[in-house]
Amino acid sequence: MADYDLIVIGAGPGGYVCAIRAAQLGLKVACVEGRETLGGTCLNVGCIPSKALLHATHQLHEAEENFAKMGLTGKAPSVDWKAMQAYKDDVIAQNTKGIEFLFKKNKVDWLKGWATIPAPGQVTVGEETHNAKHIVIATGSDSSTIPGVEIDEVQVVTSTGALELPKIPKKLVVIGGGVIGLEMGSVYARLGTQVTVVEYLDRLIPGSDGEVAKT
């Protein structure tokens, strides 16, 4: 058991930033995270890996569609999917290890495991219960599901599964025309997949500026 000024539950972008800043301001801080790495969904299975694949496939698109216009001629690159996945994983590792470094630098304790709050001012992780003057819950969210559709992460996948398909599919249906759906659709379309996006509302990326949706 340990006593803390603050325990943050969840080490995603909300949680780890909160923990580091609180420690910089002089509090004794711990952050609870059950994943093997820090960074939450964003760094591990969200924005960072998706941007890595978007960047890689954008280079492919440029080589195939625009290099010749710039006077850059020659054979277009071929796709090594395993190597692209390795590149993505390396980008993830660089970011998650960076947070570990910042935790150590700012003396934030990483409590590895899943948290429960058994009583006010207490947080249990594994077999140990810690005292906290303040608790911040920054646990993030899970992918929403469709009634009657089983997500097996093989044929029907979430955005997490879409990041690590064993091979590039010939056809892909993306349910949801929001930012995440369009990002993954763009990645696979650039890789040669026939992509269909299904969106219930009357335009893509609903909630965004209308001009963005049109382009």
| Lowest mean per-residue pLDDT among 87-91, 103-107, 178-182, 205-209 | 205-209
Q: Which residues contact 26 (CB under 8 A, 6 or more apart)?
A: none
Least confident segment among 143-147, 159-163, 185-189? 143-147
Mean pLDDT of the chain: 95
Model confidence, pTM: 0.90
Q: Look at residue 210 in the predicted model and tell me its pLDDT.
A: 83
> What is the pLDDT averaged over residues 46-61?
97
State mean pLDDT over 90-115.
98
Given a contact cutoff of 8 angstroms between Cβ atoms, the answer to whether 135 and 31 are in contact is: no
On the question of pLDDT at 7 being above 90, the answer is yes
- Structural domains in the chain, CATH included, are 4-137 (3.50.50.60), 144-214 (3.50.50.60)
How confident is residue 180, by pLDDT bands cut at 50, 70 and 90? very high
